[in-house]
Amino acid sequence: MSLLFTPTTLPSPDGGLVLPNRIVVAPMCQYQAVNGEATDWHLMHWGNLLNSGAALFTIEATGVLPEGRITPACLGLWDDRTEAALADKLHRARKLAPHTAVCIQLAHAGRKASSKLPWQGGQLLAREEGGWEPVGPSALPQLPQEPPPVELTREGMERVKAAFVEAAIRCARLGVEAIELHAAHGYLMHEFLSPIANQRTDAYGGSLENRMRFPLEVFAALRSAFRGVLGVRISASDWVEGAWDVEQSAVFAQQLKALGCDFIHVSSGGVSPQQQIALGANYQVPFAKRIREASGMLTTAVGLITEPQQAEDILQAGDADLIALARAFLYNPRWGWHAAAALGGQVEGNPVYWRCLPREAQSVFGKVAVGTR
């Protein structure tokens, strides 16, 4: 029996979420929103990946405040207008694939906000170009040549926390089954955790306990507001000597579990241009293994996992509980089907597609291919 196609349950206060397999579509920024609103691109993109064979689809990083977006073209969920646009596209897409659970990643980009689109260089966007003034835990820029962000005051931190809570309430109205708090890749929550970006001298900077304080407060507020599945994506290492690392991440994960965290999604990097990442297949899996061992939480591995047997081997080794893929799904939106064919598993699929399978993959849907007169 393939572990990748064995069911698992994500716990939550409202009873938990049963997933028929262990495949997750990781959040992927699309940069196709207009003033934070989801567009027809999202309808197409979500409808496609909801039919991918994955058990859980994650909507891209979604800004809880306008100034919390990475770029002006990023998705948002901060008012009735952005909620209505997201609801329209999501509900229409889900009608085509009601069998797939949906997670949404709530985010604030911190000092990496107000950026140009990746294919335009991704650098800080000036005000005259449509940008805005980013904020961060300290007045330290992401890149040395950039102006520093505005250091968040305690009042500003409370505003950010309240925005996450308001977005979570909107998520409940949208009917999503899970929320992932974005605390990775150099964005605001990660900035508070990392001594590279956080050099505050108050109760929110300095020691590990202090640097964890604000992300933990935000998580606790989210937990109080949302009874569905609630998890966190972290960067387990800054890949910079003496900075945020996997052992600090393990402590953070333990604290999150004590506050009611249901899963942890383990990535790395993003807070410093000085990072030295040892890229390669499974390069982040050891981080997931260590955090899983330390916290006992359901753990998601991600990063250069591209082949079905590779994903299966990670699970068989006990290094993670779920496998997330991002770019592999953009290249092959039916990755879950191919994995099922390779590993002898089955996935749900719209009957429209039942007859498309080649002979060697006929069992993927557990249905007999239908013909026409």
pTM score over 0.85: yes
Any alpha helices (H) in the chain, and if so which ranges? 40-50, 80-95, 154-174, 188-193, 208-225, 246-258, 285-295, 308-316, 327-331, 335-343
pLDDT at 1: 85
- Based on C-alpha coordinates, what's the Rg of the chain? 20
pLDDT at 351: 84
- 121: CB partners within 8 A, 6+ apart: none
Q: How far apart are CA 310 and CA 164, in angstroms?
A: 35
Residue 332 DSSP one-character state: -
Residue 115 DSSP one-character state: B
> pLDDT truncated to tens, each residue of the chain (373 aa)?
899 999 999 999 999 999 999 999 999 999 999 999 999 999 999 999 999 999 999 999 999 999 999 999 999 999 999 999 999 999 999 998 999 999 999 999 999 999 999 999 999 999 999 999 999 999 999 999 999 999 999 999 999 999 999 999 999 999 999 999 999 999 999 999 999 999 999 999 999 999 999 999 999 999 999 999 999 999 999 999 999 999 999 999 999 999 999 999 999 999 999 999 999 999 999 999 999 999 999 999 999 999 999 999 999 999 999 999 999 999 999 999 999 999 999 999 888 888 888 888 888 988 655 555 5
- Specify whether 187 is catalytic: yes
| CB distance 164 to 181 below 8 Å | yes
| Number of neighbours of residue 273 by Cβ within 10 angstroms | 10
Choose the catalytic residue: 187, 204, 283, 331: 187
Q: Which CATH number does 8-361 carry?
A: 3.20.20.70
pLDDT at 328: 97
CA angle 310, 272, 305 (to 5 degrees): 5
Burial (0-12, 13-18, 19+ Cβ within 10 Å), 368: exposed
Crossing angle of helices 246-258/285-295, nearest 10°?
Answer: 40
